């Protein structure tokens, strides 16, 4: 069974063009829903979230720019590509200001549309990954992930606090599952390097003959 690439909503007042786009995108592996007007699209959007909205700008009643303004206020945000046969630079700029990811002038080829969709989805994936990384880097800079009130635990937290303020290499020993990684994160979070990324290295994946050079560097000819 082929995995659906993304859910797309097509908003266009011309039935034939809606149908053609739906067939082309469905054949390319996308799940497609169509709407003949912004009003119909708004009704669909109340029930379903779409990865991409492909909307015309010139339609009877509420035009595409007004529709975009409404989308801009909705949360979570949905990626938009606008299309029109009456494109101008000014219209494109206005659409981008309102949050559109890209702009296509009719007539356009299937290849061009698929390329833009692929680029948009890759951008969205990278943005999501970057946001997740930022969340990791902005975790509270404390040892709060280590829970315990016993005397040995309090002594360990005191040691973490003591070594975190030094500029020295720390070797953490312990059996598997005892929390060595948590201790490493806690030391980093309280150190002078707390604003820098915490870089994990899988030593088991590095050949024994190279591990020292990888971790500590080497001089040519040494």
- Residue-range domain boundaries for the chain: 7-136, 151-216
pLDDT under 70: residue ranges of the chain: 1-3, 75-77, 86-89, 132-145, 218-222
Domain 7-136, second-level architecture: 3-Layer(aba) Sandwich (3.40)
Q: What is the pTM of this model?
A: 0.60
Domain 151-216, second-level architecture: 3-Layer(aba) Sandwich (3.40)
**pLDDT tens-digit map of 42-64:** 999 989 889 999 999 888 877 77
Any long-range contacts for 115-122 (C-beta under 8 Å, 24+ apart)?
116/81, 117/5, 117/6, 117/8, 117/25, 117/30, 117/52, 117/81, 120/52, 120/79, 120/81, 121/5, 121/6, 121/51, 121/52
What is the predicted pLDDT for the residue at 220?
60
What is the predicted pLDDT for the residue at 27?
95
What is the predicted pLDDT for the residue at 17?
92
What is the predicted pLDDT for the residue at 98?
86
Do the domains 151-216 and 7-136 match in fold? Answer: yes
């Amino acid at each position: 069974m082929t995995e659906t690439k993304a859910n797309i909503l097509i908003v266009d007042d011309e039935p034939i063009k809606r149908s053609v786009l739906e067939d082309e995108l469905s054949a390319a592996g996308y799940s497609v829903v169509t709407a003949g007007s912004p009003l119909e699209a708004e009704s669909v959007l109340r029930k379903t979230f779409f990865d991409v909205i492909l909307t015309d700008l010139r339609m009877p009643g509420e035009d595409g720019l007004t529709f975009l303004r409404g989308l801009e206020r909705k949360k979570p945000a949905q990626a938009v590509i606008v299309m029109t046969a009456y494109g101008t630079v000014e219209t494109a700029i206005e659409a981008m200001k309102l949050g559109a990811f890209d702009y296509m002038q009719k007539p356009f080829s299937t290849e061009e549309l698929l390329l833009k969709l692929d680029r948009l989805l890759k951008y969205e994936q990278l943005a999501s990954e970057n946001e997740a990384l930022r969340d990791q880097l902005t975790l509270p800079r404390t040892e709060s992930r280590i829970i315990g009130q016993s005397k040995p635990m309090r002594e360990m937290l005191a040691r973490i606090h003591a070594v975190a303020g030094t500029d020295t290499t720390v070797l953490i020993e312990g059996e598997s599952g005892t929390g060595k990684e948590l201790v490493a994160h806690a030391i980093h979070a309280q150190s002078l390097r707390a604003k820098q990324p915490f870089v994990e290295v899988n030593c088991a994946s590095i050949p024994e003959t190279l591990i020292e050079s990888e971790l500590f560097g080497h001089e040519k000819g040494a």
